[in-house]
């Protein structure tokens, strides 16, 4: 199996021993993205709307680095600090997919990295 590591300065650098994304066997696996500003590494937590928007922009930057877009996504996982945030996150998330949304699950978890409220990971196909 060959694998290709995807790295872009337009998304936050990893905060641990992992990569932003890996391509293997025609699939792109994107690590969970949080609301870290790519250039400053500062958290953006002014509101759940701002936080979710930056998470989606970070995912977009990684997809772009892999030369694909949201239409290639086949699976996402959304982790929330509280299920009361679901409706707001869902609305913003949905704007990136429209009718071509991937499969997904959403969980509320006890804690997320750096105390954020939302983290999203993604799996995408390299060819449609």
Reply yes or no on whether the pLDDT at 47 is more than 90: yes
| Residue percentage of the chain with pLDDT more than 70 | 100
pTM of structure = 0.96
The pLDDT of residue 127 is 87
Output the CA–CA distances (angstroms, integers) from residue 84 to 48, 54, 62, in the order listed. Answer: 11, 19, 28
| Beta-bridge partners for 77 | 105, 121
The pLDDT of residue 118 is 98
- Domains belonging to the chain, first-starting first, are 3-125 (3.30.1330.40)
Q: What DSSP state is assigned to residue 35?
A: S
**Kind of pairing, strands 103-108 and 73-80?**
parallel
């Amino acid at each position: 199996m060959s694998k290709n590591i995807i790295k872009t300065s337009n998304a936050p650098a990893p905060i641990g021993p992992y990569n932003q994304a890996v391509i293997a066997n025609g699939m792109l696996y994107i690590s969970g993205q949080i609301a870290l500003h790519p250039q400053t590494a500062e958290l953006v937590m002014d509101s759940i709307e701002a936080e979710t928007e930056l998470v989606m922009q970070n995912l977009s930057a990684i997809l772009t680095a892999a030369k694909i877009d949201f239409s290639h996504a086949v699976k996402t996982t959304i982790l929330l600090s509280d299920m009361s945030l679901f409706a707001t996150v869902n609305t913003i998330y949905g704007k990136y997919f429209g009718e071509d949304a991937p499969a997904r699950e959403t969980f509320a978890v006890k804690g997320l990295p750096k105390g954020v409220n939302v983290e999203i990971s993604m799996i995408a196909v390299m060819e449609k």
